[in-house]
Structure formats: structure tokens, C-alpha cells
Amino acid sequence: MINATIKHVTYNYIPHPPREGKDLLSTLNEFAYAEYGSFLEVLALAKKAESPRRKFGFIKHALDEYRHSSLFFNILSNQAKRGVGKFKREYRYFPQNVIIKGYVDKKGFLVEKLSLKNLLEFVYANELMVKETFDRLKKINSIMKDEESINILNSMMKDEMDHHGQAKKLYEIKFPNSKLQIALKKERIKRNFRLINFHNIKLLNKIFDPIINFFINCFGKIINLISIPDSNNKNLMMLDPKNVI
């Protein structure tokens, strides 16, 4: 799916399976937005395609991605209803989150930034890695045992491999002398660096957010204690705003 291409094209990172029973709902939520991001990226790719046949293929790919996004939200809902984790307000669907979370760059789509060769390499590698991640998600989280959710994941894994194969076929036609396996290794390395950066940012937020909140609270209390007297020794902070004209 060139969408996966795109889906994971736009990716800041590919969501990864949580440890056993940990953050399952959060991971499913991230996958839903990643797939929605791919949907938008592939639509942009379809718009750029000159061949009607290729344009139709990209649109089909985009529809797969859109369907995957909806299915991930369904799985999330199913798991929450089964008591797996606690459903949070942040798990509700808000379209703008696809940009806020970094799955689509607000400055433009991948097709506008990458050459066709680099784009196909990205899609080929990321579609495969996404399929592998789906597989780990299914196996590692034994807590997700309902048959409906497992069947949905299996269906999406098949779609991802179809997209992976389509990207490979087009790449070999367009760039017969290039080595896709080298591109795959490069994308795996890039993905690992993206994951490291993502986790470092989360760690820094956990460290500095409480410190920043502490200083904000202290500053607010200091402001409340400030007394600014006028010439009559009245506290200007306590005056009626309507009289300050």
C-alpha cells in the first residue's frame, strides 16, 4: 500500500507494541492516527500520479489506509469495553491530531519532498516494518484475546504486505539497477533513531513538566502577594477595574 508508503511516510515514527499489558490503548490510538496520516499522504500521491491506472491504484491504497484507521479505533473501543486499560479523553478522534502527533507534516506531503525513488524505498521498507509491528502487537499482547480484534489485525497485515509488494514491483520497474535491501536497512536504522528521539522527548517532558508547573504555581502565588500602593496607600491590585480608566 503506497499509503503505507505514505502512511509511514509521514511518520515521525512507527508506533511499536507495548510491553505485556502496558499502554495497549495508547498504542492502538497511535496506530489509528498513523493510518489516517497514510491515507492523506497516499491521496496526495494519487493526485500527483499521471497514469490513470496508477492513480486508481493509489486511491485504492488510500481507502485501505482510511479503513485501517477506522478499524484501529474499533479495536481500541473493543478493548476498552473488555476492561483492558482505562479509556481516556485523548483517545477520542480529532482530525487535527494527525498533524499535532506528527504523522502529517503541516508544511507539506512526502510526495512534495521526496523523489519517486526515495518515496518508493520509504514505502517498501515501512510497509514491511508496519506488518512486522502488527504481528508483534498481536503476539506480545496476549491480553488482546478477542477473536474479532485478532481477525482485524490479520486482515490489515495482509493489506500491508500487498502494499509492500506493490511498492517493490514499481520500484524494480523504475529503478532496476538499485538495491532495495540496502534501502530497507537504511530505513530500519532511521526508524530506530526516530524511536530513540521520541522516547527521549517523552522522558524530558516527564522530567521538566513538573518543574515548569512548580515555577508557574510559585509565580502565581507571588503575584497574589504583591501589593502596589498608590499615593493614598491603596492597593491598586484590589481596585475595581471599571475605575481604572
For the CA atoms of 93, 99, 102, 105, the dihedral, rounded to the nearest 10 degrees, stands at: 150
Query: What is the C-alpha separation between 233 and 205, in angstroms, rounded?
Result: 44
Which pLDDT value is given to residue 35?
Answer: 92
- Per-residue cell: 29: 490510538
Q: 151 pLDDT exceeds 80? A: yes
Whether the predicted model's global pTM rises above the 0.75 cut: no
Which pLDDT value is given to residue 12?
Answer: 41
Query: What is the C-alpha separation between 58 and 70, in angstroms, rounded?
Result: 19
Q: Which domains does the chain have, with CATH numbers?
A: 2-178 (1.20.1260.10)
With a pLDDT cut of 70, the percent of the chain lying above it is: 65
Burial class from Cβ neighbours inside 10 Å (0-12, 13-18, 19+) for residue 26 reads: middle
- Quick one: DSSP state of residue 21? T
